[in-house]
Structure 1
Amino acid sequence: MSTDRRVLVHTDRAALAAAAAERFVSTMSELLAERPVVHIVLTGGSVGIDVLAAIAAHPDRDRLDWTRVHAWWGDERWVPTGHPDRNERQAREALLDAVVIPSANIHPFPAPDEGLDLEAAARRYDDELRAAGGGTYPSFAITFLGVGPDGHIASLFPELPGPTVAEPGAIAVHDSPKPPPQRLSLTLPLINSSERVWLVLAGADKAAALGLALAGAAVADVPVAGVLGQRRTLFLVDEAASAEVPAALIAPTSYWTGAMDQPDWAP
């Protein structure tokens, strides 16, 4: 299966969120028509939550059969269930509470009030992932990711062990440079097993990370540089975040970073 990386530049954050929502609803409609179950991975962060809210507001939202959708997370802060900083809570409020999705299809990371330590919580999520995939990891059709100004994705931060973990799975993250210091995250190999990875980022403070990712920076230093989905990798950005992209690569609304000989692009 061929893969490529593409960057789509939108005028501002609102336009980015609306376009991502449109792409999600259209792609999910096609996926649900061709397979019985679709697994997706959600992200937190302000732009990621904006995208989820835009999906909830989409007029065709309820045309999707959410009973056949399974929702996972790329990472989570190690804070109690229901805490406002949990990606899970934010995603529920932005989208999941608004659609008819069975509770059994929502797969949040464990929380510290569930009687587990951080390492045991990572193992339990890994076990849940494998169970859902029938002994291996499920095939993620769409994985959303945010990108930090330092180039981190999920809770894989520069100069920590996480970005260079070689095996797919869920891991415990200690000493995060962003609070809280303890987190849970999917590894880069598991993220990259996704059919499609859609990275959403906005603002001038993300421009350097995007530029370095496209320039092929070391994954240990700029984790987002290592993201590559099995079929498509999309960077959905606003104009401010695209400021450090090489001018020779920019088209009016988008540009390619790979597979330049494949003009018939599909989501």
Structure 2
Amino acid sequence: MNAPEVRRHDDADVLVGDIASALLDRLESAQARGEVPQVGLTGGTIAEELHRELARRAVDSAVDWSRVVFWWGDERFVPAGSPDRNARQARESLLDHVPVDPANVHEVPASDQVATAEDAAAAYGEALRQHGAGFFEVLMLGIGPDGHCASLFPGHAALEARDAIAVAVHDSPKPPPDRVTLTFEAMERCRAVWFIASGDSKAEAVARALAADGSVTETPARGVRGEETVWWLDEAAASAL
């Protein structure tokens, strides 16, 4: 795996536009090779802005949205209709506005669909085994001010998960407390990992994640690398580098 690449942008608007362009180009190229690209989505404010930009550009894009498979790096274990769901955010900002194939949208089961977060993690892992390509074309991740990514939080047991695709997380320091996350092992199976960060509240965590030395236990985002790893940052998020 290559060293991470850092791409700095003047502000959040430029950041979102450049990521949208790069993702559409990547999806078009994969489909031109005859592939059905699989993408891992993330949540959060900047992700929602990206989703809206992708939806806006979809009409002029050559991407065949019915031949893109969607997953999530993590999900909150709450009812399916909850506004806390990353999947709901992505549907409202992107997936409801492009011609996706519903069979290609793989959500983590919600708390009103299965009994426990463990059940949801098991079902999600099985879905990836059955319908995944064995790798993500692009996995998009955010980073929290504490250095977490997906729902892998500093010091939590999920950091040590082995031989599992997805695991339950309880007592999350960020509400809601119960979640499902892909493991490090699952997230490493990527052609490209794209970290997306905007704002000065992320600056210290970004610097720790990219530092020459540091602990994955303290800064979990250090633990995810793809064949290509890109940090997409605005100047505020990059200000401590």
Structure-1-length-normalised TM-score:
0.86
* Alpha-carbon distance, 1:51 to partner: 1.2
1:125 partner amino acid: Y
Deviation of the 1:138 alpha carbon: 2.7
What is residue 103 of structure 2 aligned with on the other side? 104
Pair 1:85–1:211, CA change in 2 (3 A): same
Q: CA deviation at 1:60?
A: 5.4
SS at match of 1:63: coil
The root-mean-square deviation of aligned C-alpha atoms, in Å, is: 1.4
Q: Separation in 1 of the partners of 2:28 and 2:3?
A: 22
Go from structure 1 to structure 2 and tell me whether the alpha carbon gap of 1:239 and 1:172 turns closer, same or farther (over 3 Å shift).
same
Paired letter, 1:12: D
Q: Does 1:162 align with 2:158?
A: yes
Contact 2:137 2:190 in 1 (8 A): yes
Aligned equivalents of 2:209, 2:56: Cα separation in 1: 31
- Distance in 2, Cα, partners of 1:64 & 1:82: 29
3-state SS of the aligned residue for 1:242? coil
Letter in 2 for 1:218: S
**What residue is the counterpart of 2:28 in the other structure?**
29
- Aligned position for 1:147: 143
Give the structure 1 partner of residue 183 of structure 2. 187
1:51 maps onto 2:50 in alignment: yes
Cα deviation for residue 166 of structure 1 reads: 3.1
Cα separation, 2, equivalents of 1:235 and 1:157? 19
Q: How far did 1:61 drift?
A: 5.2
Match in the other structure for 1:126: 125
Amino acid at match of 2:216: V
User: In 2, are the aligned partners of 1:79 and 1:112 still within 8 Å (CA)?
Assistant: yes
Corresponding letter in the other structure for 2:32 = A
Deviation at 1:112, TM superposition (A): 0.8
Mapped to 2, the partners of 1:195 and 1:168 lie a distance apart of 19
1:227 aligns with 2:227: no
191, 215, 219: which one aligns with 1:218: 215
1:163 offset after TM fit, Å?
2.2
Structure 1 residues 195-214: aligned runs within 5 Å? 195-214=191-210
Unaligned runs of 5+ in 1: 246-267
- 1-side partners of 2:229 and 2:59: how far apart? 24
In 2, Cα distance between equivalents of 1:210 and 1:167:
28
Runs (4+) off by over 3 Å: 59-62
- Asked if the contact 1:169/1:187 (under 8 Å) is kept, the reply is yes
Look up the match of 2:114. 115
User: Between Structure 1 and Structure 2, whose CA radius of gyration is higher?
Assistant: 1
SS at match of 2:156: coil
Name the count of aligned residue pairs. 240
Aligned-pair identity (%) = 40
1:171-182 equivalences in 2 (<5 Å): 171-182=167-178
Judged with a 3 Å threshold, the aligned counterparts in structure 2 of structure 1 residues 100 and 158 are, in CA distance, closer, same or farther, namely same
Tell me by how many angstroms 1:89 deviates: 0.4
Contact 1:62/1:99 (8 A) holds in 2: no
Per-residue deviation, 1:54: 1.3
User: C-alpha distance in 2, partners of 1:178/1:59?
Assistant: 33
CA contact 2:195–2:232 (8 Å) conserved in 1: yes
Contact 1:25 1:60 survives alignment (8 Å): no
CA distance in 2 between partners of 1:221 and 1:61 (Å): 43
Going from structure 1 to structure 2, the CA distance change for 1:73 and 1:59 (only over 3 Å counts) comes to closer
CA-to-partner distance for each residue in 1:231-253, whole Å, 9 max, x for gaps?
Answer: x10100010111111xxxxxxxx
1:229 match: secondary structure: coil
- Shift in alpha-carbon separation, 1:241–1:65, aligned structure 2, 3 A: same
- C-alpha distance after superposition, 1:40-71 (max 9, x if no partner): 10000111111111111126554211111110
